[in-house]
Amino acid sequence: MIILVAAACQQGGSSGGGDGGGGGGGGSGSPEDAAKAYFRAAFAGNADGIRAALCKAQAAQADAIASAFGSMAGAVPGVEVALDFSGLTYTVSDATDTSATVTVGGELGVTVGGASQKTPLSGIPPLQVIVEDGAWKLCPSDAG
């Protein structure tokens, strides 16, 4: 699962952590909120939410990211997968009025078929976020 998160970071130029929930959308008020919104939408397989969390230059990747995360959630038919983002941390650096870097760490809680474990989150590249249309959006430095 962590490999899939890292791959989505590379593919969409973004990733981050959510605080649970399955919605997601743009309009984030802080760099941390942008990362959380992306994760909530990605793990829910919500392409519209992913698109809203990404900068315009990366929005076309939303369907592929949603498909990848959706495939993971349904990998074992009849087995419920639940994720707990409450153990994730978000560290903002290099912040200006229009850009920042968010590093996501901590532990991701994963429950599969009733068995739970916490997995340290590692291998996620720092996330580039920018202000676009008045909201923080995830965007790799070469796309914005």
Report the sign of the C-alpha dihedral through residues 10, 132, 91, 141, in that order: positive
From the CB of residue 93, how many other CB atoms can be counted at a distance below 10 Å? Answer: 10
How many other C-beta atoms are found inside a 10 Å radius of the C-beta of residue 42? Answer: 29
pLDDT in tens, 96-121: 999 999 999 999 898 888 899 999 98
pTM value is 0.73
* pLDDT for 72: 66
Is 28 inside a domain boundary? yes
Is residue 94 in a domain? yes
Residue (of 110, 132, 113, 114) closest to 28 by Cα position: 132
Provide the pLDDT for residue 71: 66
Report the CATH number at residue 128: 3.10.450
pLDDT at 13: 40
pLDDT in tens, 2-22: 444 544 544 444 333 333 333
- Could you tell me which of 5, 6, 32 has the C-alpha nearest to residue 18? 32
- Domain that includes residue 95, residue range: 2-138
Burial degree of 114 (CB within 10 A; 0-12, 13-18, 19+): exposed
Residue 39 has pLDDT above 90, yes or no: no
Kindly report the number of other CB atoms within 10 A of residue 81's CB atom.
Answer: 15
Query: To the nearest whole number, what is the mean pLDDT of the chain?
Result: 79
Tokens of 121: 């989150």
Residue 144 lies in a domain: no
36: helix, coil or strand?
helix
- pLDDT at residue 144, as a whole number: 46
Total domains in the chain come to: 1
Domain membership of residue 42 (yes or no) is yes
Distance of CA 36 to the CA centre of its chain: 6
Question: Which residues are within 8 A (CB) of 92 and not within 5 positions of it... i.e. 6 or more apart?
Answer: 30, 31, 32, 100, 101, 102
